[in-house]
């Protein structure tokens, strides 16, 4: 069994779930952090960021697997997406090629990379994939994972869905029939563990979701949340044009008030895209991993965490 692993993005939403799963499975984990963290059994924190080459060298020295999860989902400038989602891959690959070890490099990308024309975010994720495939040494094992929508405890984005339903409102961006796949974060963590060191996954770009054939429509997703809350929200389609106007306004306000906008015109392109269903080669095809949690089960567990933390 692979024992020594390195993780970037360990303090993020998905990273927290992965680190917990790794430690629980007996791995020796080295994790990158920008803020002071307390070491614990099987977990050592490395102070630094993606631009600190010395910290990255310390992070990956002698490990068997590198999980590169760090990334931006919102940014003020396109260059920020490129720096974090693309250039960091190049830096890590260079460090690994120069070092004595040859770990399995697992890049957590996004299903958005399938449609790089939609946004700077999607393009940066695709660029990161291209950098890995083009620059990895011939003998460097690598795997790229493309998850769709990720949700679960500690996710603040899915919280917005539940708050909207609680207010009896269900806005459907682009239309009720647009479809998307989903995956529960702890299931994604287990999928990454299944891929680690698995030779069948070397050199592969793999989708990973909860196994629901053809995903879920936006209407089904909101209805699932509404059933759990025992609520009957008012559902209404929001035209892309109206959303774009809101996105441009949000960008203007972010410039005036100095915050990083999540909802931008480019993000609207992603939200209104009709097909975010996993279609490509899948982690399930090459490993023994099977998702344990469907959308209803996952939403129930996620809502329980929100309630326990007084968020809804």
Residue 194 has pLDDT above 90, yes or no: yes
- Give 146's pLDDT tier (boundaries 50, 70, 90): very high
Mean pLDDT of 223-233: 94
Does residue 228 belong to any structural domain of this protein? no
- Give 1's pLDDT tier (boundaries 50, 70, 90): low
Q: How many CA atoms lie within 13 A of 240 on its CB side?
A: 13
Does residue 243 belong to any structural domain of this protein? no
List the CATH number of the domain containing 87: 3.40.50.720
User: For residue 242, which of 208, 268, 218 has the smallest C-alpha distance?
Assistant: 268
Does residue 251 belong to any structural domain of this protein? no
Residue 160 has pLDDT above 60, yes or no: yes
Q: What is the pLDDT of residue 254?
A: 81
Does residue 134 belong to any structural domain of this protein? yes
Class of residue 36 by CB neighbours under 10 A (exposed 0-12, middle 13-18, buried 19+): exposed
Does residue 25 belong to any structural domain of this protein? yes
Does residue 246 belong to any structural domain of this protein? no
For residue 76, count other CB atoms closer than 10 A to its CB: 15
| Total domains, the chain | 1
Q: What is the pLDDT of residue 2?
A: 59
Does residue 101 belong to any structural domain of this protein? yes
Does residue 60 or residue 139 have the better pLDDT? 60
Q: 50 lies in which domain range?
A: 4-152+181-213+277-292
Q: What is the pLDDT of residue 176?
A: 84
Three-state secondary-structure class, residue 211: coil
Residue 218 has pLDDT above 80, yes or no: yes
What phi, psi does 80 have (nearest 5°)? -70, -45
Three-state secondary-structure class, residue 172: strand
Q: What is the pLDDT of residue 139?
A: 84
Residue 277 has pLDDT above 90, yes or no: yes
Task: Give CA–CA dist 91/78, Å, rounded.
Answer: 19
Mean residue pLDDT of the chain comes to 93
Does residue 2 or residue 28 have the better pLDDT? 28
Does residue 32 belong to any structural domain of this protein? yes
204 near 281, Cβ under 8 Å?
yes
- Global pTM? 0.94
Query: Positive or negative CA dihedral for 280, 208, 276, 121?
Result: negative
- Give 89's pLDDT tier (boundaries 50, 70, 90): very high
Long-range Cβ contacts of 129-138 (<8 Å, 24+ apart): 129/205, 131/86, 131/89, 131/90, 131/93, 132/89, 132/93, 132/105, 132/107, 135/90, 135/93, 135/94, 135/97, 136/93, 136/97, 136/105, 137/97, 137/102
Q: What is the pLDDT of residue 29?
A: 97
């Amino acid at each position: 069994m692979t024992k020594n692993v390195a993780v970037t993005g360990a303090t993020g939403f998905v990273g927290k779930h992965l680190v917990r799963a790794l430690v629980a499975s007996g791995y020796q984990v080295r994790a990158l952090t920008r803020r002071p963290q307390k070491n614990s059994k099987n977990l050592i924190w490395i102070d630094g960021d993606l631009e600190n080459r010395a910290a990255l060298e310390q992070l990956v020295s002698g490990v068997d697997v590198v999980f590169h999860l760090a990334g931006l989902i919102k940014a003020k400038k396109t260059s920020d997406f490129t720096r974090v989602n693309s250039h960091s891959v190049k830096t890590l690959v260079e460090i690994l090629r120069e070092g004595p070890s040859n770990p399995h490099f697992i890049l957590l990308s996004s299903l958005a990379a399938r449609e790089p024309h939609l946004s700077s975010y999607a393009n940066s994720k695709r660029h990161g994939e291209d950098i890995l495939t083009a620059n990895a040494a011939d003998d460097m094992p690598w795997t790229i994972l493309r998850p769709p929508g990720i949700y679960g405890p500690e996710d603040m984005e899915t919280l917005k869905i539940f708050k909207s339903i609680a207010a009896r409102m269900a806005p459907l961006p682009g239309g009720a029939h647009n479809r998307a796949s989903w995956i529960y974060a702890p299931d994604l963590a287990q999928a990454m563990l299944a891929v680690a060191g698995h030779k069948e996954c070397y050199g592969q770009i793999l989708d990973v979701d909860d196994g629901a054939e053809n995903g879920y429509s936006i209407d089904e997703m909101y209805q699932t949340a509404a059933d759990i809350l025992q609520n009957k929200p008012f559902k209404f389609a929001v035209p892309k044009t109206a959303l774009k106007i809101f996105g441009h306004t949000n960008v203007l306000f972010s410039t005036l008030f100095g915050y990083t906008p999540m909802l931008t015109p480019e993000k609207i392109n992603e939200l209104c895209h009709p097909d975010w269903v996993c279609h490509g080669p899948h982690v399930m095809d090459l490993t023994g991993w099977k998702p344990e949690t469907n959308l209803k089960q996952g939403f129930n567990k996620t809502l329980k965490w929100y309630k326990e933390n007084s968020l809804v």
